[in-house]
Structure 1
Amino acid sequence: MKGEPKSDVYTRVTDKIIADLEHGVRPWAKPWETDNATTRITLPVRANGILYRGINVLLLWGEALAKGYRSNRWMTFKQALELGASVRKGEHGSLVVYANTVTKIDENDDGEVTELDIAFMKGYTVFNVEQIDNLPEGHRVEPATEHQPNAVPLQLIEFAETFFGKTRATVCHGGNRAFYAPGLDIVQLPPAEAFDTAESYESVKAHEITHWTSHYTRLNRQLGKRFGDEAYAAEELIAEMGAAFLCAQLGIAPETRADHASYLDHWLKVLKADKKAIFTAAGHAQRACDYLFSLQAETPSEVAA
């Protein structure tokens, strides 16, 4: 995969997301739509314990579900060897991507020097620790899979309320719809008692507060030029992924919202027309999540703990 053209990485990732959507499955919601739907889902991590971000979260969540991995830790073939371990023969790796910029120095005929930042992206392969033998103790991390009724402690939900409260978003309750009203700059939710579980209430709030970050006084997310007539569907895509990222970090199982099935055709249209669209949406979702954490007194790692 070394030296793989940037366009091919975009195509491979986009085609994978499209394939899931064509089967009616949203990759960012898949980890909670399984037999273990009440199991806490964790963000995927690298060999060194650093969290994956953006599009790589979606890719590795999907891979873990498709292949039945319980661990959230991934590493390269070389990293396994450096630990004295080895990838089992016949195992197939999973695609992740790396994006960065390189600086190119350009000098014109008059001797004027200009520095140009050129973006690049490449794909590389990682393996789940469950595909690797002889890993030393401490490198095989597996989230708990046994679910106990009402296992999520009440203080976790209380802390979610504190988290959202620190954003200072105006949240109103009433009616039977959840939405963000940009003109009024308010989040509207049904009364909490209208939800089946506290987790459902918090996850829907996460979705709408992700929309709230789009306001011009915050992230000023203007999608019209990028997505044209499909900007509304793109914003909904960002909110779904942003809520999934938030819920994973807060330890809340997100709500599967049936009304969003109506967006599938719109999302497919966006992704099929533009191979970079899913990367753009995931990037906006990650920035929304980062922004909400920036409003907290604690760091994201302290919140997750």
Structure 2
Amino acid sequence: MAKSSKPKFDAAASITNELIKIIDRGVLPWRKPWTVGGSSVPLRQNGEPYQGVNNFLLTMRTLMAGFSSPYWMTLRQANELDAKVIKGSKSSVVVYYGTAEREQAEGAHGGEAETEDPKTIPFMKSYRVFNADQIEGLDPRFHSAAAEPEVHPERAPIPHMQSFFEAIGANVSFSGRETCYVPNLDKIYMPPIELFENPRNFYAVWGHELGHWTKPRHRLNRSYGDARFGNTAYAREEIVALS
């Protein structure tokens, strides 16, 4: 029988390429110092939390796709629950690491095979899962209502820092769940301080956006050319805002 010419699926390369695509989109969810609601722990069909890189990857996929359910399962597991994956849904790759033992082919000095001294070798396997939001017919427990963003009432403003930033005079709206400076409106958007795990992070993010706020012609008139995500002009502007 002729061997298939189809290349073997490379899970490591697939995960690496996915990370690159996420970065290219300009969204780094693992760097947000404020809470945005929803489950933060991806769960298997049986409720067991994913560990290691799978936890990290599925958390990013949940944020990027806007899934509200923390549950993930294989096509087979969904079918066993009399549920059906929605047509056109894209699966996500997860990996499994383990070790296997094999007998040494030769002794330490090239003698006969040793059967009582096994050698442990690592291996990695991959499989595909779907989020419960991509599956129809599941029990309601897999679709729990999205949690409201966690609020930290004790996260009160730091007086001297608050006074410093307010004195700058920038137009800032403390609402929503994202941060950005909108040049056309000459306005900064920030989540309220109560959503930040640490009030110092609130002022750090505010300071970063103020860095972009200084760019327009009527302030510092800073321009590095046509800034697009990932190009040199964009990188230079980000370096300035991070300084």
TM-score by length of 2: 0.54
Distance in 1 (CA, whole Å) between partners of 2:76 and 2:142 is 15
**Distance verdict in 2 for CA 1:117–1:141, change over 3 Å:** farther
**Selected match of 1:201 from 184, 191, 198:** 198
**Selected match of 2:47 from 23, 37, 49:** 49
What is the CA-CA distance between 1:73 and the residue it aligns to? 0.8
**Selected match of 1:39 from 37, 41, 56:** 37
Find the counterpart in structure 2 of residue 12 from structure 1: 14
Which amino acid is the alignment partner of residue 200 of structure 1?
A: E
Find the counterpart in structure 1 of residue 93 from structure 2: 95
Q: 1:55-94 alignment to 2 at 5 Å?
A: 55-94=53-92
Which amino acid is the alignment partner of residue 14 of structure 1?
A: T
What is the CA-CA distance between 1:198 and the residue it aligns to? 8.3
What is the CA-CA distance between 1:128 and the residue it aligns to? 0.7
What is the CA-CA distance between 1:75 and the residue it aligns to? 0.6
Higher relative contact order (CA 8 A, sep 6+): 1
Q: 1:197-276 alignment to 2 at 5 Å?
A: 199-201=196-198
CA contact (8 A) 2:69 2:144 kept: yes
Distance in 2 (CA, whole Å) between partners of 1:258 and 1:12 is 36
What is the CA-CA distance between 1:140 and the residue it aligns to? 2.8
Find the counterpart in structure 1 of residue 125 from structure 2: 122
CA-to-aligned-CA distance 1:64-83 (integer Å, 9 cap, x gap):
22322111111111111111
Which amino acid is the alignment partner of residue 85 of structure 1?
A: A
SS in structure 2 at match of 1:79: helix
Find the counterpart in structure 1 of residue 143 from structure 2: 140
CA-to-aligned-CA distance 1:62-107 (integer Å, 9 cap, x gap):
2222322111111111111111111122222111111111111224
Find the counterpart in structure 2 of residue 242 from structure 1: none
CA contact (8 A) 2:152 2:196 kept: no
What is the CA-CA distance between 1:53 and the residue it aligns to? 1.8
Find the counterpart in structure 1 of residue 112 from structure 2: 110
CA contact (8 A) 1:44 1:60 kept: yes
SS in structure 1 at match of 2:142: coil
**Structural RMSD (CA):** 3.6
The number of aligned residues is 162
**Distance verdict in 2 for CA 1:101–1:202, change over 3 Å:** farther
Instruction: Identify, as 1 or 2, the structure richer in strand.
Output: 2
Find the counterpart in structure 2 of residue 245 from structure 1: none
- Structure 1 vs Structure 2: percent identity of aligned residues? 31
CA contact (8 A) 2:40 2:59 kept: no
**Distance verdict in 2 for CA 1:134–1:107, change over 3 Å:** same
What is the CA-CA distance between 1:139 and the residue it aligns to? 3.0
Distance in 2 (CA, whole Å) between partners of 1:98 and 1:142 is 30
**Distance verdict in 2 for CA 1:71–1:142, change over 3 Å:** farther
What is the CA-CA distance between 1:123 and the residue it aligns to? 1.9
Structure 2: 5+ residue runs without aligned partners? 1-6, 156-160, 162-192, 209-229, 232-243
CA-to-aligned-CA distance 1:234-272 (integer Å, 9 cap, x gap):
xxxxxxxxxxxxxxxxxxx9x96988xxxx99xxxxxxx
**Distance verdict in 2 for CA 1:53–1:10, change over 3 Å:** same
**Selected match of 1:28 from 19, 27, 30:** 30
Compare CA radii of gyration and give the structure with the larger one: 2
Structure 1: 5+ residue runs without aligned partners? 158-175, 177-195, 205-252, 266-305
**Distance verdict in 2 for CA 1:23–1:80, change over 3 Å:** closer
